[in-house]
C-alpha cells in the first residue's frame, strides 16, 4: 500500500500541484478542492505548522551597524566628488535584526522547499508592478500562524464536505485552518 495518493499525475506534476495548493492554503487560510487533494494538502500543511510551532521563539535580536546611502529630500542618493569622480556618501546606522538560531534556520529552509513565492498585488493596481510586495511565507508561519496553535497538539486543519462536483461527481470539500 502506498503512503500517499497519486492523484492521477506523474511525480513532478503531483509535487508542483501539492506545493501550489499548500502555499495557497496557508496564505489564505482556506480553500475548496477535491477530497483526496485536501487530505494530501492537509498532511503537508500540518507538518509545516508543527515545525513552525516548535521553532516559533527560537531566535535572538542582534544590533548590527550597516552602511546606508545618504539621500536628499527627493529620495536620490547624495554624491560628492572624490578624485575627479562622483561617489555616493554613506552613513553608518545601527539596526535591530532578528537572527535565527540554527534549528529555526533549518526549519525555515525546510518550509521554503515547499512554498512557492507569493506576491501580493493591491486591488487598485491590478496588472501593474507598482505597489506589489513579496510575502515571506516562512515568516508568516512563524509570526501569524504558529502563535494560534501553541497550546494545541496537532489537528490544525479541518475538512468539511460540501457537495459533489457536477461534471465528474468528485466530492468537493472545504479545507480550512481550525
Q: What is the 3-state secondary structure (H, E, C) of the chain?
A: CCCCCCCCCCHHHHHHHHHHHHHHHHHHCEEEEEHHHHHHHHHHHHHHHHHHHHCCCCEEEEEEEEEEECECCCCCECEEEECCEEEECEEEEEEEEEEECHHHHHHHHHHHHHCCCEEECCHHHCCCCCCCEEECHHHHHHHHHHHHHCCCCCCCEEEEEEEECCCCCCEEEEEEEC
Quickly state the pLDDT bin for 104 (edges 50, 70, 90): very high
Alpha-carbon distance 88 to 152, whole Å? 52
pLDDT at 128 over 90: no
Is domain 11-57+101-177 given the CATH code 3.90.1150.10 in the classification? Answer: no
pLDDT at 86 over 60: yes
Quickly state the pLDDT bin for 163 (edges 50, 70, 90): very high
* Average pLDDT estimate for 91-106: 95
Query: What residues does 100 pair with on adjacent strands?
Result: 59
* Average pLDDT estimate for 149-157: 95
Per-residue pLDDT tens digits for 22-53: 999 999 999 999 999 999 999 999 999 999 99
- Numbered ranges of CATH 3.90.1030.10 in the chain: 11-57+101-177
Residue 122's pLDDT is 84
In this predicted structure, which of 20-34, 127-141, 163-177 has the lowest mean pLDDT?
Answer: 127-141
Residue 131's pLDDT is 80
Residue 130's pLDDT is 77
Residue 83's pLDDT is 87
Predicted TM-score of the model (pTM): 0.84
Q: Which cell goes with 74?
A: 527627493
Amino acid at each position: 500500500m502506498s503512503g500517499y495518493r497519486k492523484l492521477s499525475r506523474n511525480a513532478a506534476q503531483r509535487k508542483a500541484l501539492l506545493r501550489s495548493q499548500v502555499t495557497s492554503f496557508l496564505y489564505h487560510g482556506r480553500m475548496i478542492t477535491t477530497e483526496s487533494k485536501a487530505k494530501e494538502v492537509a498532511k503537508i500543511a500540518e507538518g509545516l505548522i508543527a515545525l513552525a510551532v516548535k521553532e516559533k521563539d527560537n531566535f535572538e535580536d542582534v544590533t548590527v551597524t550597516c552602511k546606508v546611502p545618504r539621500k536628499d529630500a527627493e529620495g536620490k542618493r547624495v554624491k560628492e566628488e572624490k578624485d575627479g569622480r562622483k561617489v555616493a556618501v554613506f552613513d553608518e546606522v545601527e539596526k535591530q535584526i532578528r537572527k535565527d538560531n540554527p534549528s529555526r534556520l533549518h526549519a525555515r529552509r525546510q518550509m521554503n522547499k515547499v512554498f512557492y513565492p507569493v506576491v501580493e498585488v493591491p486591488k487598485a493596481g491590478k496588472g501593474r508592478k507598482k505597489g506589489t510586495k513579496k510575502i515571506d511565507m516562512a515568516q508568516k508561519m512563524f509570526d501569524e500562524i504558529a502563535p494560534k496553535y501553541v497550546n494545541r497538539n496537532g489537528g490544525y486543519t479541518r475538512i468539511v464536505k460540501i457537495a459533489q462536483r457536477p461534471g465528474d461527481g468528485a466530492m468537493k470539500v472545504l479545507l480550512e485552518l481550525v
